[in-house]
A and B are shown apart, each in its own frame.
Chain A
Amino acid sequence: MIVRILGEGQFQVAEDVAPKLTALDAELDAAVHKSDDAAFRAALGAAVRLVRESGTAVPADTFVTADFILPFSDATIDEVRKLLADGAIGGDSVGLP
């Protein structure tokens, strides 16, 4: 599967990492809902490390979309909320009209 870490690009990650990543994703989601800063940072940090360490960077000439996108490694809960609120990624930032 392909995982993007915002600010760091895409990684090809083996399928057997998926359960671990999914578990961390659930923790991340719970932390955002509870506004639990410490849990959020722990889950995000663990997920980012997992992808960096188990994945390999997708080459520049391979154009694929990611199955999962992780926030910036130093993102805050507020930033993630903004990102999840639809329309937070302005048309301009995707380079589209």
Chain B
Amino acid sequence: MSVMKRVSLIFRAKANKALDRMEDPRETLDYSYQQQVEMLTRVRRGVADVATSRKRVELQMNSLQKEVDRRDNQARDALSKGREDLARAALQNKAGLQGQLNDLQGQYANLQEQEEKLTVASQRLQSRVDAFRTRKETIKATYTAAEAQTRINEAFSGISEEMGDVGLAIQRAEDKTAQMQARAGAIDELLASGALEDHVGGQQDAIQAELDKLGAGNEVESELARMKGELEASAPRQIEGNPNGDSSANGSEATRAAEQPQAGDGS
């Protein structure tokens, strides 16, 4: 038998089985309505869960984007310092991160879709449940027991199919959210431990360390140059005042000590 027919029969069989178990048809309506209200709660919670998961992925995408930008800056920095090897390593890391980011973007789109679908399903169920409530009261008030039975069966089976549909949609969204959360958890850990860098290229620390060294090297050089300049400007007085390079307190003593022999020699 075909797929579409079989699926419809499965849904119908479920509803019939439940109907057979009901002793009082009118109670069936109340019971079903109670189930519908619970299902509405479930689907709304489902929407909220997917939204939470989506926001988490959004934060991760931002973090990854920052890492990608950082690698890009590193590469530029390295190139400007004439270190093509470092620039290449940084770009390799960037490519790895970009891959992760693209992957997350795909997952994000998927979650967004699930959220939208579930929201629509929730709205559809809400209007169905509202209509069912009206129908339920009409059936109870208007029909004789025999007439009611048929109408109750129709309403019950119709809404059961809707509930089955929404139930499957929730299950699906939950599965996708769980998968996403497992991935998100792993990426969070990687980002937190900084292992993402190692995971991606294994060289990030080396690149940054090298760049830092180059950066620090430049600073050291310029500070050295500045100090040399200062020293040259005040060279005569300092050499006279502190020939042994002692601290200033000792220096003045040393100066006095140096003066005494000079005086002695002079006498």
Contact = CB atoms under 8 A, between A and B. Distances in A.
B36 A95 contact: yes
Contacts of B14: 89, 91, 94, 96
Contacts of A96: 14-15, 17-18, 35, 160
Interface string A1-31: 0011011111000000000011001101100
Interface string A62-88: 111111111110000001100110101
A60 interface: yes
B18 A7 contact: no
A92 interface: yes
A71 B12 contact: no
A12 to B, nearest CB: 13
B131 interface: yes
- Residue of B165, B170, B172 with most partner-chain A CB within 10 A: B165
A69 B167 contact: no
Nearest to A51: B4
B128 interface: yes
Given A25-B5, A89-B167, A90-B167, A63 B135 contact: yes
Interface stretch (B72-80, B94-102, B150-158): B150-158
B8 A95 contact: no
Contacts of A22: 2
A25 B4 CA distance: 6
A64 B131 CA distance: 13
Interface residues of B, number: 51
A95 B124 contact: no
Contacts of B158: 62-65
- Residue of A61, A71, A86 with most partner-chain B CB within 10 A: A61
Contacts of B6: 84
Contacts of B155: 63
Contacts of A84: 3, 6-7, 10
Contacts of A70: 4, 7
A71 B3 contact: yes
Contacts of B135: 61, 63
A76 to B, nearest CB: 11
A89 B18 contact: no
A66 B8 contact: yes
Contacts of A26: 2
Contacts of A46: none
Interface of A: 3-4, 6-10, 21-22, 25-26, 28-29, 32, 47, 60-72, 79-80, 83-84, 86, 88-97
Given A67-B5, A71-B3, A96-B18, 18 more contacts: A4-B161, A6-B165, A6-B169, A7-B121, A8-B120, A22-B2, A29-B2, A60-B127, A60-B131, A61-B134, A63-B158, A65-B158, A70-B7, A83-B7, A84-B6, A86-B10, A95-B39, A96-B17
11 contacts: A7-B121, A26-B2, A60-B128, A64-B154, A83-B10, A83-B168, A90-B167, A93-B168, A94-B163, A94-B167, A95-B164
